[in-house]
Amino acid sequence: MNDTRPIAAILYDFDKTLSPFDMQSFGFIPALGMTTEEFWKETGILAEGNGMDKILAYMLLMVRKCQEHGIPLTRAYLEELGQGVEFFDGVKEWFSRINAYGDALGLKVEHYIVSSGTREMIMGTPIAKEFEAIYACEFLFDDNGVACWPKMAINYTSKTQYLFRISKGVLDSTDDVGVNRRRDTLRIPFRNMVYIGDGMTDIPCMTVLKENGGQSIAVYPPDHKETADTLLKEGRVHFICPGDYTPGSQLDEIVHLMLKNVSVNESLHGKEAVHPL
């Protein structure tokens, strides 16, 4: 039997949104004998010195550093590192709880990752199974199974294409024809989307949704509210709140209200307009 319920989509950045730090901080960088600051400083130098996209720079540096240290940068290694990624409080239980709340409202809730992080690491985390699709940077692996080239790089502007893919139901990231085809109806209208991110790299996605009836939230770690405050003051997001996904948290209450709003709007859109005589 087909599920005819309206769909609400919640889209998440990953680093500093679901996890308090960049995912490479939890195992990858320490295995290189570097500090987090050293790795990202070297990434910046590589990018600036070569007029290079910073996302491509960090991916190249991951390959180079593993080669220098004799570490096979395989899919299995990256997924194993993903198992050690830590999350904000409540994240692991968040998805089933939000899904149940959506059910009570007559909604089907779907979750998506749109991240500039490493997809292979995300796939190794215990929450990977919660998402309809995970859009993040990917490596191409050679005949020995070792990463040799960026297969997919997602920066802050290219993130926006995935809003359209999700909205149209064209989830295959290689399907450029489908995502650009004009459609009279959308699987998930932008008004039914919520984007949760943490910083400046999320601004394009937040802006697209804000201008098309969707909702956006900036989360922040304890005692680091400055970036989120800036996003709110500049009108980039609707709400800011701590990265706390536990029941009754500010984020929990806001998302509940947003899902209620989706439910009400869908009910109104389903009614025929009544014209005065």
The residues that bridge with 9 in the sheet, in sequence order, are: 110, 193
Q: Helices 91-104 and 250-269: crossing angle, nearest 10°?
A: 30
User: Coil, strand or helix: which one is 91?
Assistant: helix
| Residue 155 backbone dihedrals phi, psi, to 5 degrees | -105, -175
pLDDT tens for 144-192 read 999 999 999 999 889 999 999 999 999 999 898 888 888 888 999 999 9
Q: Would you say 80 and 123 are in contact if contact means Cβ atoms under 8 Å apart?
A: no
Q: What is the mean pLDDT of the chain?
A: 94
CA–CA separation, 77 and 89 (whole Å): 26
Using the 8-state DSSP alphabet, how is residue 19 labeled?
B
Q: How confident is the model at residue 3 (pLDDT cuts 50, 70, 90)?
A: confident
pLDDT tens for 19-61 read 999 999 999 999 999 999 999 999 999 999 999 999 999 999 9
pLDDT at site 219: 96
First-to-last C-alpha distance (Å) of the chain: 41
pLDDT at site 277: 47
CA–CA separation, 170 and 185 (whole Å): 13
Range among 176-180, 202-206, 245-249, 268-272 with highest mean pLDDT value: 245-249
Q: Would you say 24 and 92 are in contact if contact means Cβ atoms under 8 Å apart?
A: no
Is the predicted pLDDT of residue 272 greater than 80, yes or no? no
Question: What does the pLDDT average to over 184-206?
Answer: 92
Is the predicted pLDDT of residue 271 greater than 90, yes or no? no
Label residue 35 left, alpha or beta by phi (over 0 means left) and psi (-120 to 50 means alpha).
beta
Label residue 243 left, alpha or beta by phi (over 0 means left) and psi (-120 to 50 means alpha).
beta
